[in-house]
Amino acid sequence: MEKLEGENFDLVLLDIKLPDVSGIDLLAMIKDRHPDIGCIMITGYSSADTAIESLNLEAEAYLTKPIDAVDLFEIVERAARKKERRAYEERLAALHNHAIGLSSINTLKGVAELTVDTIESVFGFNRISFLILKAGKLLKLDGIPEKSRRALNLDGPGITVRAANTGKTQLVPDIRLDEDYVPGLHNDLLNSSVSELAVPVKIGGEAVAVINVESPEENFFDDTDRKLMELLAESVSSAIERLRRVEALERMVEERTVELRKAYEELKALDKVKDQFIGMAAHELRTPLTSIKGYIDFILGGAMGEISENIRQMLVIVQRNTRRLESLTDDLLDQQRLECGKMDIEHELVQVSDLLGHIEEEISPVITNKNQRLELLIHSGVSTIEADKKKVSQVLINLLTNASKFSPDNSDIILLVEDKNSYLKFSVKDEGFGLNEDDICKLFKPFPEIERPSVTEKSTGLGLSICKGIVDLHGGEIWAESKGRGRGSTFQFTLPKEGVEQTKELLTVADEVSILTD
């Protein structure tokens, strides 16, 4: 056993009968400490018991004296092949683990380090270089010893250079006889190298790296080493290709992000110009509109004397369109204030019953004109709310006007107010045209493209967007529900009973991020 501990043996012949110990016991000790060593049991006193014990302990063979030389030779060869096969399988398993390990590495340097470590531990080689092709050179990323040459010109000599240029594995038994061998190419640490194995790592048929191993022994590397190293190179190739795809994707994402940011900034600038123009136009329109409206009311009121019926009818048309234009400018200014965060909410204690009475009075002409019926329902417990009375009235008037506009004559409209503990819930239900799911998603945006029935009175397309802005500033929510076209709609919004602090920054950083990534 002392000899086994001090030297390396592939095969041991054991006699069953030994002076100081049983051959079976020694076999058990060897297999316990050195399971890779093959053992052949020999005896001149064969028995079924010792034969069975030997085979149970994984002896390669059980031979009875006298031993036939041919039989012994065949058994030795078989044992050697078995050991080689086992070693090959162990290396394959190690290379499989190497491939798995590469999948979690995110840098080329990491790929090189793991590969060099694997070659050293699996093959036992101790002169290893991992080189990549870059700018006409082979640059060393990792290897042992660390002080080995770090760069080779691709237009110069060298066996590693030849592997890179040809894309073919170079298995050289004696580099001193090779035409590309250049004495002094290696540093002092590698001067004694005699044999070499250089394996290219290829992507798309072109070498991107070279894994090079050397030995001071002549004819050290064999065809099995070549095949296993080429398998390892394929795993490295897949890892490098993955890193390249990830790098290309990250670069594309970065470029796209820059483009989107630039486009976003341009859109913001255009949007600012648009807002400035709309604000300026709306303000400029208000002065002449006020003058036109005043003079028309003055004339229709009889201050200028009697006028003919034809002129009166024409002035009424002008008056109606003046009011429509006035409503448009008001909506444009409100929308601009909301988008710029300049709409102020002035909270006050509002009696809900008084609020609804005011709403009913103001909306009555619209409802009566179509012979519709408005029903006000206030649940018990509803009393007061802290809100901007004028702005809440604006929301309710808008919703009720829409309900009337898109509902048939002689239909019912319901305004319901419910107490929900910390907030009030307002609902406007009609028997009108109805909405589909796609329409509901667009409703509260400016100028929504929604298919609606033709109506006499046109709208700006800003009313619901302004309603949402006002409700949001109060800290509430607004939404619409409908069972489909022709089945009516219900618009609902909530307002906290106690006013919340106004938030003027409608476009937040999170909104900007979503714009860039959607």
Closest CA to 14 of 63, 84, 70, 52: 63
What are the tens digits of pLDDT across the range 58-98? 888 888 888 888 878 888 888 777 777 887 888 889 899 99
- The pLDDT of residue 288 is 81
How many angstroms separate the first and last alpha carbons of the chain? 73
What are the tens digits of pLDDT across the range 28-67? 988 888 887 888 888 888 888 888 888 898 888 888 888 8
CA distance 415 to 399: 10
CA distance 131 to 139: 5
Determine the Cα angle at 265 with ends 263 and 268, to 5°.
Answer: 110
CA distance 326 to 332: 10
- Decide the pairing of beta strands 137-144 and 128-134: antiparallel
Determine the Cα angle at 92 with ends 158 and 232, to 5°.
Answer: 30
Q: What is the dihedral of CA 292, 297, 300, 303, to 10 degrees?
A: -100
What are the tens digits of pLDDT across the range 245-302? 999 999 999 999 999 999 999 998 887 777 777 777 776 777 787 888 888 888 888 8
Average pLDDT rounded to a whole number, residues 176-186: 75
- The pLDDT of residue 510 is 36
Q: Which two tokens stand for residue 271?
A: 């949007």
- The pLDDT of residue 457 is 55
Q: Is the pLDDT of residue 517 over 70?
A: no
Closest CA to 163 of 208, 218, 111, 113: 208
**Residue 108 or 74, more confident:** 108
CA distances from 331 to 279, 288, 328, 389, 505 (A): 11, 17, 5, 18, 20
When pLDDT is cut at 50, 70 and 90, the band that residue 318 belongs to is: confident
- Decide the pairing of beta strands 38-43 and 61-64: parallel
CA 279 to chain centre: 40
CA distance 147 to 267: 57
- Decide the pairing of beta strands 195-203 and 348-351: unpaired
- The pLDDT of residue 489 is 94
SS3 assignment for 392-456 = HHHHHHHHHHHHHHCCCCCCEEEEEEEEECCEEEEEEECCCCCCCHHHHHHCCCCCCCCCCCCCC
Helices 223-300 and 69-102, axial angle in degrees (round to 10): 20
Sheet containing 412-420: which strands, arranged edge to edge? Answer: 373-378, 412-420, 423-429, 490-496, 478-481
Q: Which two tokens stand for residue 191?
A: 């001067």
What are the tens digits of pLDDT across the range 112-154? 999 999 999 888 898 999 999 999 999 998 888 765 566 889 9
Q: What is the dihedral of CA 268, 272, 274, 277, to 10 degrees?
A: -170
What does pLDDT average to over the chain?
85
CA distances from 67 to 61, 73, 498 (A): 12, 10, 106
Q: Which two tokens stand for residue 247?
A: 């790098």
Work out the number of other CB atoms within 10 angstroms of the CB of residue 183. Answer: 8
What are the tens digits of pLDDT across the range 389-439? 999 999 999 999 999 999 999 999 999 999 998 999 999 999 998 888 888
Domains and CATH numbers, the chain: 2-93 (3.40.50.2300), 108-221 (3.30.450.40), 345-501 (3.30.565.10)
